[in-house]
Amino acid sequence: MRGGFIDKHVLGVMVLTLTIDLLKAGPPYFTDDPDPVEFHHWEYYISTENIFDVRNRNATGTLPHIEINYGAVPNLQLHLLLPDSYQYSYPHDLDLGYTYTEFGVKYRFVKERKNVPEIGVFPIVEIPTIPDNRFGKEYIQIYLPLWLQKSWKKLTTYGGGGYWINPGSGNQNWIFAGWEVQYDFTDFLTLGSEIYYHTASTTGNISVTGLTLGGSLNFTDHIHFIFSIGHSIFNQNLITSYAGMYFTL
């Protein structure tokens, strides 16, 4: 995409589609893991996630989004995400709106053992809630991923990928794949990095490969500040960021 050839509002919607589609992830990364919330426990996230298109000076993301996960039965987690979305087009156009609600079920069907990784699925459904043409969410979208994870004391690595069913004018089905590695340097500090790739989610768009650095500050066993910053490697000039509070009960 090159500035001057695409109307900035159309460009904003295209970049926003990328941003919102990538929210289905293991905060603060785009890549997720197969590890569900423990039985009868809760997870809460209050976060903001952003993508800045350096070339065209557009930004999209959430201000904020709220994510709630609950361990409904052993090895199964229920998931709800409520995003307050925004898109910004240089020099002064800013749109805000709530357009869809996300539901999901994470199910771990293989527990981790000495020589066997943890394996699970995490199907997600996005349901248009408040019609708003500015944000391009008019049809139900479905994500069907498979995730794997393995740990060695303070070192954890996980990844996988999935297929997005993405109907609608100008949209197309697409694939996401990613892998993350993290290390607990102390009880207070965890740092990690991921590499990810996804095909284009809209016609006329292009695939993206990116690298993300992130981690968490663990104030207690139940209160954490999580963060990440990243950049695309090929095809597009995108800066990504995530910051939020993570609570467990």
For 105-147, how does the pLDDT look when each residue is reduced to its tens digit (9 = 90+)?
999 999 999 999 999 999 999 999 987 777 666 889 999 999 9
State the pLDDT confidence band at 173, using cuts at 50, 70 and 90: very high
In a domain, 249, yes or no: no
In a domain, 82, yes or no: yes
In a domain, 231, yes or no: yes
For the domain that residue 160 is a member of, what is the CATH number?
2.40.160.40
State the pLDDT confidence band at 15, using cuts at 50, 70 and 90: very low
Q: Which residues contact 245 (CB under 8 A, 6 or more apart)?
A: 45, 46, 47, 223, 224, 225, 226
pLDDT of residue 4: 35
In a domain, 154, yes or no: yes
State the pLDDT confidence band at 25, using cuts at 50, 70 and 90: low
The one-letter code for the residue type at 47 is S
In a domain, 248, yes or no: no
Contact 101, 23 (CB under 8 A): no
In a domain, 115, yes or no: yes
In a domain, 66, yes or no: yes
The pTM assigned to this predicted structure is 0.88
pLDDT of residue 136: 64
State the pLDDT confidence band at 24, using cuts at 50, 70 and 90: low
The dihedral over CA atoms of 111, 198, 170, 229, expressed in degrees to the nearest 10, equals 100
pLDDT of residue 229: 97
Contact 77, 36 (CB under 8 A): yes
The arithmetic mean of pLDDT across residues 3-19, rounded, is 42
The arithmetic mean of pLDDT across residues 53-80, rounded, is 93
Contact 48, 243 (CB under 8 A): yes
Q: Is 198 or 92 the better-scoring residue by pLDDT?
A: 198
pLDDT of residue 156: 97
In a domain, 129, yes or no: yes
Nearest to residue 89, comparing CAs of 200, 17, 13, 22?
A: 13
Using CA atoms, how far apart are residues 218 and 246, in angstroms rounded to an integer?
Answer: 9
Number of domains making up the chain = 1
State the pLDDT confidence band at 92, using cuts at 50, 70 and 90: confident
Task: Give the range of the structural domain holding residue 96, as residue numbers without chain letter.
Answer: 8-243
For 193-243, how does the pLDDT look when each residue is reduced to its tens digit (9 = 90+)?
999 999 999 888 889 999 999 999 999 999 999 999 999 998 778 999 999
